[in-house]
Structures are given as structure tokens and as C-alpha cells.
Amino acid sequence: MDFDLAAEQPKLLQLLIGVAAFLVVVAAVLLLVDRVPMRRRAWPHATILLAPALLLLGVGLVAPAVRTTLLSFMSGDGRRWAGLDNYVWMFTRPEALTVLRNTVVWVLLVPPLVTSVGLVYAVLVDRTRFEALARSLLFLPMAISFVGAGVVWRFVYAYRAEGQEQIGLLNQLVVSVGGQPRQWLQEPPLNTLFLVAVMVWIQAGFATVVLSAAIKGIPGEIVEAARLDGASPRQLFFRVTLPSIRSAVAVVLVTQSIGTLKLFDVVRTMTGGQFDTGVIANEMYDQAFRYGETGRGAALAVLLFVLVTPVVVYQVRGRAR
Amino acid sequence: MSGRGGRADARAAAARVRRRLSGRGAGVAAIVIAVLWTTPTFGLLLSSLRPEDQIKSTGWWTFFSDPEFTLENYRQVLFGTSSSSGRMAGFLVNSVVITIPSVLLPLALATFAAYALAWLPFRGRDWILVGVFALQIVPLQMALVPLLSFFSRGVEVFGVQMLPAWDLEGPARFVQVWCAHTCFALPLGVFLLHNFMSEIPGELMEAARVDGAAHGAILRRIVLPLAGPALAAFGVFQFLWVWNDLLVSLIFAGGTAETAPVTVRLAQMAGTRGNEWQRLTSGAFVSAVIPLAVFLAAQRHFVRGLLAGGVKG
């Protein structure tokens, strides 16, 4: 046993400092804003209330994003201009192309799969007796970290040489139907699909919750009318349910696309990007923080930004409507 | 009468439709999905309670024919002294220290900003609003490299040192992580809270102002109680996001027991000791206990946040 409470004390002290800083900021803003008389125009109040957030956004997000864009046109150490070299690297080198190809596979697979599983499940459990419990079962993976989920699935995919007893569920199933155990995560190109399965497993609960809320919002009269007209369950689903929840389906597809583009943790925990499984966010981390190739990392981050932008714009416009 | 009757009819109709659906194996399909989704976690949980030699030699399903329980894995992964054990207790403390301020700060700052943007009439408000919303587009990957160099090297413009490096060592490095998490949380936080706050009836605000209440008082007496659900939703969201985060911590907290959170530790164990299943299984659950508890206790708020457009990542 080796847990020394004394060793933890500096951390707890730091936590106290952090909470105290939080209280000071809140108190300072409130005091300042109450100092300015209400009759005056609104901008002094607005300045005080907005200043902390805008300052942090400027220093922590806007300025870094601009700097990253500049860095993407510079050499690895950030000392000399490299023109488009980093982008040329990204689109010509085989190892980088693998990363781009994988990202495309992820984005093509994860959103539709997550949405379909979530939709099917939401329809199946809608208005059943165990609905709340049934939804929670799918929803739980959202509470654990992607790292934790990665561990869960590495265990499912665990491999033991042929002849030994398997400890991974998937290989056990394969062996029990007479197949050979395989190293699922080490054989490209299929290993990416096994990683995709993990992401679908994590995110399906999100789709279930959003879509089942949308299904509940369909007016009962419409369902009733369709039923009186003699619609079959299949017709009911495709002609009534699906059109009525179109916007919710779009929300799920869009948010999943964004999340999948930025995906990092699952790949890092399960394969570390080896065996041809790398994706953009993962490669960006490796280039910038492990190999010191800041320029390439920055270029990958910019690519991520460019890919995410149209999706988010679509989402925001949809929400505004 | 017709309204209520109609709704009851519709509900009965829906039930009938569903019964017809279930007749075709829908129930079976639902159960298959549910089993598929819970089995991996269940297997891991069961394994974490089995002795080491058994985890490594037999599948967890043999537990049912040969049950043997132990909490040794958890003791090892939390407090073990050997270099290969998890020593997760210290990392758990780090996670707590990282998470609390990283939730409180964006919550407060986003509340102030959202209130100003929703209820104060000043010039340029719409531009700021659009600007903050637009920042949701920026993936945090865009900010990582420069933000890290901001902390470690300060700001240098054309060879002139404008701001000194922060040079944070030891527990002070938590400050970096707090700042990073707060910055990255603000666009979504302001967006969510602004949406809720702009729904507060204008008459309430007007009445308070006529009574001579200052903004501080309005925030405390009107905004906080009414926007409570929105604050809770964003709070739960941010909590789960920070606790489960790996990327931000890897970069800003480093990998040592001094500041790194449990997710970083678990990722390390999965990387270097990928076959020490007795520690990985128990470690995974140690890292998941607190977010699971928060999640189950506040699922309602979390769902509300999801439906209002908040998404992790």
C-alpha cells in the first residue's frame, strides 16, 4: 500500500487556489458591474461582463488558431517559411494519404451507422414498458471516457495464439464456430472497421436519445390517421415516422460527422495509429507533439478546420431555422 | 373531452402498431441490440473481479462455471507499490483537481457573457454574438500548439518578448489545464446559455430594472433561478467532457503522477502494459466510477443539454 495523503496535499492546495480564483473573478465582475450606475448606457456593463470571456477566447482560441494557420506554412521548427510543403506532404506521402483515407472511411461509416442503430432501437423500444431502462443501456457508454471504451473493446478483441484458450469474446466466438483466432486490430484494412465499431458503440446512445425525443414529438393524430388509412408498420415508419423526424436525423448525422472528424482518443488507446489506422486528429498529435513536426501538425489541424467548417455552418443554419 | 379522448385513442393506436411491429421479431431485435451493447462492459467488469491468473488464462464467461472473486486488482491498481501497478489513487486526485475549476470557471464566465449578449443593448452586440458562435467551428486542435508555447515560452513578436513564459512547475501546471479547458468550453457554453437566457420573458427583466435592481441583482435573483436547468445541463456536460478528456490533458498536464488525470494514466497502461489485463480492467472501472455516478444522477440535465445542441468534442 502506497498512498501518501501528504503527497497529495500540494494538489489540494492548488485546487483551493483555483476555487478561490474562481470566486475572486465572480466577485470582481459582480462588484464592478454594480458600481456603474444603471442609468448610464449599457456598454460599460457589457464590457465588464464580457471582458473575461472574450479575453480568454482571444488568447486561447482566436490568436492560436491564426498562429496555427501561419505555422502550417512554415518548417517543422517554425523558423522558416516552407510555402505549401506541409500541404504537399499531406496529399502526396503514402503514410499521410493512409490517414486521409481512414478519415474518409470513418466519416462515411460512423454517422450513418450510429443514426441507423439509434433510430431502429428508438423505434423498437418506443412506448414499451422498459423504455427508460432500455435507453439507459445504450446510453451508458456515453458516460465513460473514450479511453475507457477503448480498453473495454481491446478486451473484446484480445488475441491468444491458436490452441490456447481465448480470453477475448470475439476470438472465442470465432473459435467456437471453427475459425482461427485473429489479431483484429493489427490487420489492415479491416482493423479500421473494428475501431469504427467502437465509436458506433459509444455514440449510438446519443442517437437513441435524440431520435426517441423526436419520435415522442410526433402528434398522435397523424399516427392514428395513417393507421386508419390502413398503413402497414413499414409504411408507417417510412412515410410518417421518418419524415416527421427528418430534422432530428439531420442533427444526429451532422454532430456525428463533426465528432468523427475530430476523433482522437479511440484510435490512440486501441492502436496508437499503428497498423495503418491513423486518423487526422491522431496524426496531428503525433506530428506536432511527438515528432516535433509543428508545421505538418498545424497543416493537419487546418485541414480539420476546413473539413469541419461546412458541417458546422450547415448545423447552425439548420438550428436558426 | 375530444382532446383527451383523441390522445388516448392515439396512444392505443400506437400501442397496437407497436404490437404489430413486435410480432415480427422487433422485440427480439431490441433485446439483441441491448445485449450487444452491454456485454462488452459486463465482461470487463466481471473480469476486473477475477484473480489475475484466471483473467489471463481463461475467458470471463468461464466465471459462471468456476466463480472466484477478488478485489485484489482494485487494491493493486489504486494503491500498488510496484512500478507496473496503476497507482491510480494519485491520478484520481489529479482528475478531481483538474475538473472542479474547469467546470466552475467556464460556467461563470459563460453566464456573464451570455447575459450581456442576451439582455444588454449595446452597439456591436450582434457581431460579438456571431463571432462567439462562429468559434464553435474551430477544432481545439487548431489551438493546441500555439497555446502550449504561450504557456511554456511566452509571446514573442518579431523577436521582442511581449509576455514572459509562465514556467509552471509541479502542481501549478494545473493552471494551464484549467485555462485550456475554460477557453475551449466557452463557445459552446455561451451559445447554450444565451439560447436559454434569451427565452426569459422581457417583462421580468423590465420589472426588475424599473425597481432599480442592478445587473448583479438581476443575475442573482432572476437569471440564475430561471436559467438553472441550462446551467445544470452545461455543467454536467462540461464535467463529463473534462473528466473523460485525454487530448487536452496529454498536452497541458503532462504524463506524470504529479498532474496527469486518470484517463492519461489508463491510456499509458493500455499502451505499455497492454496485456496486464488485471490492471487494465480494474483501472477502466476506477476511471469510470465518478463520471458514471454523475451521469446517472444528472442524466435528465445531460439529455436536455444534448437536445439543446451541446455535443462533446
Identify the pLDDT of residue A319.
Answer: 60
Identify the pLDDT of residue A243.
Answer: 85
Range of the domain at A240: 85-320
Task: Give the other-Cβ count within 10 Å of A8's Cβ.
Answer: 18
Angle at B47 between CA B42 and CA B51, to 5 degrees: 160
Identify the pLDDT of residue B242.
Answer: 92
Whether residue A242 sits in one domain with residue A170: yes
Q: ipTM higher than 0.90?
A: no
- A112 within a domain of the structure (yes/no): yes
Confidence category of residue B16, pLDDT binned at 50, 70, 90: low
How many CA atoms does the CB half-sphere of A108 hold within 13 Å?
8
Whether residue A57 contacts residue A42, with contact meaning beta carbons closer than 8 Å, is answered with no
DSSP state of A83: T
For chains A and B, count residue pairs whose Cβ atoms are closer than 8 Å.
Answer: 383
Whether residue A116 sits in one domain with residue A25: no
Which residue from B30, B212, B303 is facing A125, i.e. has the nearest CB?
Answer: B30
Question: Number of structural domains, chain A?
Answer: 2
The 3-state DSSP class for residue A74 equals strand
Identify the pLDDT of residue B101.
Answer: 93
Identify the pLDDT of residue B312.
Answer: 45
Identify the pLDDT of residue A109.
Answer: 92
- The nearest CA of chain B is from the CA of A85 a distance in Å of 19
Identify the pLDDT of residue B141.
Answer: 83
Identify the pLDDT of residue B14.
Answer: 59
Whether residue A230 sits in one domain with residue A192: yes
Which residue from A50, A265, A289 is facing B113, i.e. has the nearest CB?
Answer: A50
Report helix, strand and coil shares of chain A as percent, to nearest 5. 75, 0, 25
Three state DSSP letters for chain B: CHHHHHHHHHHHHHHHHHHHHHHHHHHHHHHHHHHHHHHHHHHHHHHHCCCHHHHHHCCHHHHHCCCCCCCHHHHHHHHCCCCCCCCHHHHHHHHHHHHHHHHHHHHHHHHHHHHHHHHCCCCCHHHHHHHHHHHHHCCCHHHHHHHHHHHHHCEEECCEEEECCCCCCHHHHHHHHHHHHHHHHHHHHHHHHHHHHCCCCHHHHHHHHHCCCCHHHHHHHHHHHHCHHHHHHHHHHHHHHHHHCCHHHHHHCCCCCCCCCHHHHHHHHHHHCCCCHHHHHHHHHHHHHHHHHHHHHCHHHHHHHHHCCCCCC
Which residue from A7, A71, A121 is facing B30, i.e. has the nearest CB?
Answer: A121
Nearest to B136 by CA among B311, B308, B305: B311
Identify the pLDDT of residue A114.
Answer: 92
Q: Taking 80 as the threshold, does the pLDDT of residue A299 lie above it? A: yes
Beta bridge partners of B157: B160
Which residues does A222 contact at the CB level (< 8 Å), separation at least 6? A240, A244
Whether residue A281 sits in one domain with residue A140: yes
What is the b/e burial string over B168-180, where b = at least 16 CB atoms within 10 angstroms of the residue's CB?
beebebbbbbbbb
The 3-state DSSP class for residue A81 equals strand
Whether residue A265 sits in one domain with residue A229: yes
Confidence category of residue A271, pLDDT binned at 50, 70, 90: confident
What is the arithmetic mean of pLDDT over A93-114?
88
Please state, in angstroms and rounded to a whole number, the distance separating the CA atoms of residues A275 and A290: 18
Name every chain B residue with its beta carbon within 8 A of the beta carbon of A165.
Answer: 57-59
Please state, in angstroms and rounded to a whole number, the distance separating the CA atoms of residues A141 and A144: 6
- A276 within a domain of the structure (yes/no): yes
Identify the pLDDT of residue A113.
Answer: 93
Confidence category of residue B1, pLDDT binned at 50, 70, 90: very low
The pLDDT tens digits of the residues spanning A33-75 come to 888 776 667 788 888 888 889 999 998 888 888 888 888 888 7
How far from A45 is each of A30, B143, B215, B260, CA to CA, in Å?
10, 30, 8, 39
Name every chain A residue with its beta carbon within 8 A of the beta carbon of B183.
Answer: 56-57, 59-61
Whether residue A166 sits in one domain with residue A65: no
Please state, in angstroms and rounded to a whole number, the distance separating the CA atoms of residues A142 and A204: 9
Cβ of A11 within 8 Å of Cβ of B93? The answer is yes
Whether residue B100 contacts residue A18, with contact meaning beta carbons closer than 8 Å, is answered with yes
Whether residue A298 contacts residue A90, with contact meaning beta carbons closer than 8 Å, is answered with no
Which residue from A49, A236, A270 is facing B17, i.e. has the nearest CB?
Answer: A236
The pLDDT tens digits of the residues spanning B100-134 come to 999 999 999 999 999 888 888 888 888 888 888 88
Whether residue B128 contacts residue A54, with contact meaning beta carbons closer than 8 Å, is answered with yes
- A183 within a domain of the structure (yes/no): yes
What is the residue extent of each domain of chain B? Answer: 2-75, 88-307
Q: Is the CB of residue B28 less than 8 Å away from at least one CB of chain A?
A: no
Identify the pLDDT of residue B86.
Answer: 65
Grid coordinates of A81: 517559411
What is the arithmetic mean of pLDDT over B62-83?
76
A255: CATH: 1.10.3720.10
Grid coordinates of A141: 457508454
Whether residue A148 contacts residue B288, with contact meaning beta carbons closer than 8 Å, is answered with yes
Which residues does B297 contact at the CB level (< 8 Å), separation at least 6? none
How far from B312 is each of A92, A258, B232, B294, CA to CA, in Å?
32, 10, 16, 16
Please state, in angstroms and rounded to a whole number, the distance separating the CA atoms of residues A141 and A257: 18
Whether residue B106 contacts residue B238, with contact meaning beta carbons closer than 8 Å, is answered with yes
Which residue from A3, A34, A64 is facing B142, i.e. has the nearest CB?
Answer: A64
Confidence category of residue B194, pLDDT binned at 50, 70, 90: confident
The pLDDT tens digits of the residues spanning A222-253 come to 888 888 888 787 888 888 888 888 888 888 88
Q: Is the CB of residue B160 less than 8 Å away from at least one CB of chain A?
A: no
How far from B10 is each of A215, A275, A312, CA to CA, in Å?
14, 54, 37
Whether residue A212 sits in one domain with residue A100: yes
Chain B, window 264-303: residues with a beta carbon less than 8 angstroms from a chain A beta carbon: 266-267, 270-271, 274, 277, 280-281, 283-284, 287-288, 291-292, 294-296, 299, 303
Q: Taking 70 as the threshold, does the pLDDT of residue B4 lie above it? A: no
Q: Is the CB of residue B252 less than 8 Å away from at least one CB of chain A?
A: no
Over chain A, what is the mean pLDDT? 83
Please state, in angstroms and rounded to a whole number, the distance separating the CA atoms of residues B166 and B178: 14
Which range has the top average pLDDT, B51-55, B96-100, B305-309? B96-100
Identify the pLDDT of residue B3.
Answer: 43
- A46 within a domain of the structure (yes/no): yes
Confidence category of residue B272, pLDDT binned at 50, 70, 90: low
- Which comes out higher in pLDDT, residue A32 or B155? A32
Q: B155-157 and B160-163: which strand pairing?
A: antiparallel
Whether residue A98 sits in one domain with residue A38: no
Whether residue A288 contacts residue A55, with contact meaning beta carbons closer than 8 Å, is answered with no
Whether residue A106 sits in one domain with residue A9: no
Which range has the top average pLDDT, A153-157, B16-20, B253-257? A153-157
Whether residue A109 contacts residue A196, with contact meaning beta carbons closer than 8 Å, is answered with yes
Q: Which of A70-84, A205-219, A270-284 has the lowest mean pLDDT?
A: A70-84
Whether residue A138 sits in one domain with residue A171: yes
Q: Is the CB of residue B188 less than 8 Å away from at least one CB of chain A?
A: no
Identify the pLDDT of residue A1.
Answer: 46
Whether residue A92 sits in one domain with residue A58: no
- Check the CA dihedral B250-B255-B261-B263 and report its sign: positive
Whether residue A97 sits in one domain with residue A57: no
Q: Is the CB of residue B46 less than 8 Å away from at least one CB of chain A?
A: no
- Helix pair angle (A169-176, B27-48), 10° resolution: 120
- The nearest CA of chain A is from the CA of B167 a distance in Å of 16
- The nearest CA of chain A is from the CA of B232 a distance in Å of 16
Q: Which of A29-33, A77-81, B12-16 has the lowest mean pLDDT?
A: B12-16
- A77 within a domain of the structure (yes/no): no
Name every chain A residue with its beta carbon within 8 A of the beta carbon of B63.
Answer: none
Name every chain B residue with its beta carbon within 8 A of the beta carbon of A15.
Answer: 96-97, 100-101, 174
Identify the pLDDT of residue B5.
Answer: 47
Identify the pLDDT of residue A185.
Answer: 78
Cβ of A146 within 8 Å of Cβ of B117? The answer is no
Name every chain A residue with its beta carbon within 8 A of the beta carbon of B312.
Answer: 259
For domain B88-307, is the CATH number 2.60.40.420?
A: no
- A255 within a domain of the structure (yes/no): yes
Identify the pLDDT of residue A310.
Answer: 83
Mutate to test the interface with A, among B18, B41, B99, B181 (most CBs of A within 10 A): B41
What is the arithmetic mean of pLDDT over B67-87?
75
Mutate to test the interface with A, among B77, B119, B137, B206 (most CBs of A within 10 A): B137
Identify the pLDDT of residue A112.
Answer: 93
- A104 within a domain of the structure (yes/no): yes
- A76 within a domain of the structure (yes/no): no
Q: What separation, in Å, do the N-terminal and C-terminal C-alpha atoms of chain B show?
A: 48
